[in-house]
Amino acid sequence: MRRDFGPDGEIVSRLQDLGLNLYESRAYLALIRGGQLTARGVGQAALVPHSRTYDVLESLRTKGYAISTPSSPKLYTPIPFERVFPALYETRKEEIQSRVAKAHEEAQFKLDRLTEAYEKLSEDLGGSSRSSQSIAEPVWVLEGRENIEKMVVSLVQGARKELMRITRPPDLVGTRQFDPFYLRMENWRHTGEAAERGVKVRWLSLTRELPSYPGLRVTEPPERRYYDRDEDILEKFMLADGGNVLMNLYDPKLSAFGSIAMLMKSEAAYGVFRDHFDAMWDKAKPLDAVLPKVREQVAEACSKLSEAGYSKAEERLYRALAQAGASTQEGALARVRRKGVDEGAVIQSFNRLVSAGIIVKSKSLGLFMVENPLVVKGILKNQRSSPG
């Protein structure tokens, strides 16, 4: 549904919520304030295109929101709000309540089926691991990003004392796969839940992770520290609760970390990796020491966008997404719409920044992110030096 961002945008949006479309809402509001207007007067007051004005007014008349005189030119008069909208409100409310009830019924049916399946499987298979012979195999190999992410979520959910992660975010515009240790949006909450139940969570990465993934408003757990240079981090692993080590393996054929990981359940191995993590953690920069510089770089990148001929809307979009971090397209656009930028300009700006590689979509996460501001400066420099 299109929304109105003009001076009366809030009233128009509420009329839309009750069932009128954008132009109908604007026209009805113009009639309420004008009392009796010609089609031309409505068009001018409501900013309705001339080619649409008569259709919109006839629609209001047909639906019972306005009446017209047989004179030439016609005069249109609004039906008072209290005469037509209470019935419309009740009708719309009943429709929505009916859909909610149906959705609840369907959800309850699925939940009952899920519960039944789980309880039956618990009876049939729950004791299989206890009855089978013990397997002395402390190492497992996981293949595929989804399987690795499921293991990450499982380790986070099961943690009771500590979680540590060290990773290398790849270039968003490169051909390397996105780090499988990063979680999809629907799984982000598990880290916060772990911290709430008292788990000490620490993540170690490279400064080029900012602002692309977490953004510049990093207030929630985990505690983060950073290295500046890629060569300072040569491995990627996650540690959980004294005995679980999950390593992302380097693929020499691809010259990159792929979607293959190794899970080790060993207190001895955990101790070695934890000592290594602690040594690196002590040398890394805390978030408070990194963010101010990145904020300056974002501000400079926005200035360079303006100098390169990008619009104010495009600059605001880059800044908003840099503040928020990884986001859906609608989430990114909504942040700029709230600043009063025209709908068409917002979408056009988004498409242009994506085309230029300044906003990039992660295929594995399905989220959009801004490129690091230093990379953006390089993109703009190449654009200036390219012929045409």
342-363 pLDDT, tens digit each? 778 888 988 999 999 999 887 7
What Å distances lie between residue 365 and 55, 182, 193, 250, 304, CA to CA? 44, 8, 21, 21, 29
Q: What is the pLDDT of residue 245?
A: 94
Task: Give pLDDT tens digits for 55-97.
Answer: 999 999 998 899 988 888 889 999 998 888 888 888 888 988 9
HSE-CB at 379 with a 13 A cutoff on CA atoms is 21
Residue 5 pLDDT class (50, 70, 90 cuts): very low
Question: Is residue 299 pLDDT above 90, yes or no?
Answer: yes
Domains along the chain? 9-79 (1.10.10.10), 140-287 (3.30.870.10), 290-385 (1.10.10.10)
Quick one: average pLDDT of 325-342? 80
Cβ atoms of 218 and 209 closer than 8 Å: no
Task: Give pLDDT tens digits for 279-290.
Answer: 999 999 999 999
Quick one: average pLDDT of 238-250? 89
Q: What is the pLDDT of residue 226?
A: 95
Reported for 5-12, long-range contacts at CB under 8 A and 24+ positions apart, including other chains, are 5/337, 5/340, 5/341, 5/342, 5/343, 6/47
pTM of the model: 0.61
Q: What is the pLDDT of residue 135?
A: 47
Q: What is the pLDDT of residue 173?
A: 57
pLDDT higher at 219 or 30: 30
pLDDT higher at 22 or 118: 22
3-state secondary structure (DSSP) of residue 133: coil
Q: What is the pLDDT of residue 60?
A: 92
